[in-house]
A = this chain, B = another copy of it.
Amino acid sequence: MTVLDIPAWRPRTDAAPLLPDPEPYRMLGTPAAARLDPALLRALYAQLVRGRRYNRQATALTKQGRLAVYPSSTGQEACEIAAALALAPADWLFPSYRDTLAVVARGVDPVEALTLLRGDWHTGYDPRVHRVAPLSTPLATQLPHAVGLAHAARLSGDPVAALAMVGDGGTSEGDFHEALNFAAVWHAPVVFLVQNNGFAISVPLAKQTAAPTFAHKAVGYGMPGRLVDGNDAPAVHQVLTEALNRARDGGGPTLVEAVTYRIDAHTNADDAGRYREEAEVAAWRAYDPVELLERELTGRGLLDEAGRQQVADEAETLAADLRERMHTEPSLDLTELFAHVYAEPTPQLREQAALLRAETAAEAEESAAAASAEEPAAERRP
């Protein structure tokens, strides 16, 4: 019996080149690092230090009641900074909710990047200015957005790539799957960066996936998968740069897994002691992305104590600025509640805005009256 030559029976692509090297890619401490541009290394280092400081400052701001909540990326700064620095100016960044550092490193004002978490509005920056999608919490939902934008750019003939970030937990969502499939079928210029930091809040990797690595998921979509040491900033930068170049050059999407660790609790409100051992955290602290890079720079004579101090000072300046500006009350404008729901408010919204205006006017009158009179607050309006 002969088997007909039917295309369906031939694998549509060769799987082998898509499979990741199961050993995470590393540069620091390897000969490859010697070939690295010192300027890049210095830039990465300065940003890593700033990022570390920013995380600490933002966490402090939650204790001072200036932020509703902050999900720190301490320990993950190499991924955050390398992601931002690998992007070309015309590229777009699609952060996940923890990626404030990447957003700031991309150029967004450090205060505006915190608007969501301070709570005076949702997105504090104009996403078009730095080409950074809004920070937003529904996990993995930003991935199809990145694919759509990259697809639109390709349709428009623009050499623009999108970099979409997601956590290990977020990979379990259906949107992750749909996004990767669309990207591969459309050959969209998009790079997916999974920051595998070991936990989704309290849920450890073993309860999230049984895959050899997240990078192995790539073959199932027909795109290359790369595994990288997420605490090795130049390595992450290198892998992402290659993938973004390939994307812009019409080579299609890539899935990158960066192996890293969430040093802090999920957020300031979380108690990580409930679900993980301090020993594990300590092991990762000893493999710190900032120190790793610092050692490389120092070893290569690219950083001395004065340079280190200068970077530290710059980071302090950033933190001081952040602290100061976050300690001023944001100005709130109630009309904004209704202004952006639609291009034109519906008649019902206009009515509701009027109601609120009347209420606040009455409130203002009342407090004025209360202030000028001795007796307690004015009677309630019927």
Residues of chain A whose beta carbon lies under 8 Å from any beta carbon of chain B: 1, 3-4, 6, 8-9, 11-15, 18-19, 22, 24, 26, 28-29, 172-178, 181, 184-185, 187, 196, 198, 205-213, 216-223, 229, 259, 261, 283-284, 286-287, 292, 295-296
Cβ–Cβ contact B29 & A9, under 8 A: no
Write out the residue numbers on chain B whose beta carbons fall within 8 Å of the beta carbon of A184.
209-211
CB neighbours (8 Å) of A12 from chain B are 205-206, 209-213
Known: A9-B24, A9-B259. A4 touches B210 (CB 8 A): no
A92 to B178, CA, bound (A): 28
Q: How far is the CA of A198 from the CA of B7 in the complex (A)?
A: 10
Other than the given A9-B229, A181-B210, A212-B219, 11 more pairs (CB < 8 A) read A3-B287, A11-B212, A12-B212, A172-B178, A176-B177, A177-B177, A184-B209, A185-B206, A216-B220, A217-B221, A220-B220
Q: Say which residue of B24, B196, B216, B221 sits within 8 Å of A210 (CB atoms).
A: B221
A172 to B, closest residue via Cβ: B181
Please measure, in the bound complex, the distance between the C-alpha atom of A209 and the C-alpha atom of B219, giving whole angstroms: 11
Q: Please, which residue of chain B has its CB at the minimum distance from the CB of A33?
A: B1
Show 21 residue pairs from A and B whose CB-CB distance is below 8 angstroms, ordered by the A residue.
A1-B28, A1-B296, A3-B26, A6-B283, A6-B287, A8-B259, A9-B259, A11-B22, A11-B213, A11-B216, A12-B213, A13-B210, A172-B181, A173-B174, A174-B178, A181-B210, A185-B209, A210-B222, A211-B220, A217-B221, A219-B220
Per the bound structure, the CA–CA distance linking A4 and B13 in Å amounts to 36
**Interface contact A181-B209, CB-CB below 8 Å:** yes
Partner of A185 from the list B9, B207, B223, B296 (CB cut-off 8 Å) is: B207
Residue of B nearest to A176 (CB): B177
Report whether B210 and A295 are in contact in the complex, using a CB–CB cutoff of 8 Å.
no
> Smallest CB-CB separation from A252: which chain B residue?
B210
CA distance A174 to B210 in the complex (A): 18
A222: chain B residues at CB < 8 Å are 209-212
Name the one of B6, B221, B287 contacting A4, with C-beta atoms under 8 angstroms.
B287
- Min CB gap A137→B, angstroms: 18
B176 and A212: CB pair below 8 A? no
Q: Cβ of A22: which chain B residues have Cβ within 8 Å of it? A: 11, 15
**Chain B residues in 8 Å Cβ range of A205:** 8, 12
Q: Is the CB of A212 within 8 A of B173?
A: no
A1 touching B212, Cβ below 8 Å: no
Distance, CA A316 to CA B6, complexed state (A): 32
Report which residue of A12, A24, A207, A223 has the largest number of chain B beta carbons within 10 angstroms of its beta carbon: A12
A9 to B20, CA, bound (A): 13
Q: How far is the CB of A324 from chain B (nearest CB, A)?
A: 38
**In the complex the two chains form, is B287's CB within 8 Å of A196's CB?**
no
Measured between C-beta atoms, what is the minimum distance from A23 to chain B in Å? 8
Q: Which residues of B contact A229 (CB under 8 A)?
A: 3, 9
Top 3 closest pairs, chain A to chain B, by CB:
A174-B174, A1-B29, A210-B222
Q: Which residue of B lies closest to A197 (CB)?
A: B8
In the complex, what distance in Å separates the CA atom of A8 from the CA atom of B223?
A: 23
Inter-chain contact B295/A4, CB cutoff 8 Å: no
